[in-house]
């Protein structure tokens, strides 16, 4: 595998980005730091395994509650469609807040596992998130 030096990447920034976008991700080493540069389309492919799966509960009043164990989010709506839209908005808002405080939240024991879901949500619209929410019947 080709690992690029940070110095070479800096010298050839435009060429490196073109290669990442059109050929393949790049791995870069800077002293003791290692990183990957990847385009968003490829990142979305990698993260597609992290589906927004939720438990669906039909409440006594007929409303629908969706509960995401992966992100610790719950919403209630008059029907599944409205609940999905509300949950998608909450997922997007959570992802943006997480990203703003990434250095804190990504190190938190109970939030570290959220990283792939956060990165996935950041590259999607609320409508797309809502479309991709997978509901499974919950048990009370």
Tell me the average pLDDT across 64-69: 95
Tens digits of residue pLDDT in 27-44 = 999 999 999 999 999 999
Give residue-wise pLDDT tens across range 82-132.
999 999 999 999 999 999 999 999 999 999 999 999 999 999 999 999 999
Please determine, for residue 140, whether its predicted confidence score (pLDDT) is greater than 80: no
Q: What is the pLDDT of residue 59?
A: 95
Listed by start position, the domains of the chain span: 3-38, 46-137
Q: What whole-number percentage of the chain has pLDDT above 70?
A: 99
In 3D, which of 71, 73, 51 has the Cα closest to residue 111? 71
Q: What is the pLDDT of residue 138?
A: 84
How far apart are the C-alpha atoms of 21 and 43, rounded to whole Å? Answer: 11
| CATH architecture of the domain covering 3-38 | 3-Layer(aba) Sandwich (3.40)
Whether domain 46-137 has CATH 3.40.50.2300: the reply is no
């Amino acid at each position: 595998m080709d690992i690029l030096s940070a110095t070479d990447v800096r010298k050839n920034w435009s060429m490196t980005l073109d290669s990442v976008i059109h050929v393949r991700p790049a791995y870069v080493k800077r002293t003791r730091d290692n990183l990957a540069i990847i385009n968003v389309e490829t990142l979305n492919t990698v993260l597609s395994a992290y589906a927004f799966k939720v438990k669906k509960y039909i409440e006594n009043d007929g409303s629908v509650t969706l509960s995401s164990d992966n992100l610790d989010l719950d919403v209630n709506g008059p029907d599944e469609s409205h609940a999905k839209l509300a949950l998608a908005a909450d997922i997007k808002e959570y992802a943006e807040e997480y990203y703003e405080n990434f250095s804190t939240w990504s190190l938190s024991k109970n939030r570290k596992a959220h990283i792939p879901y956060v990165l996935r949500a950041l590259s999607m619209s609320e409508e797309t998130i809502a479309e991709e929410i997978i509901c499974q019947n919950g048990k009370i």
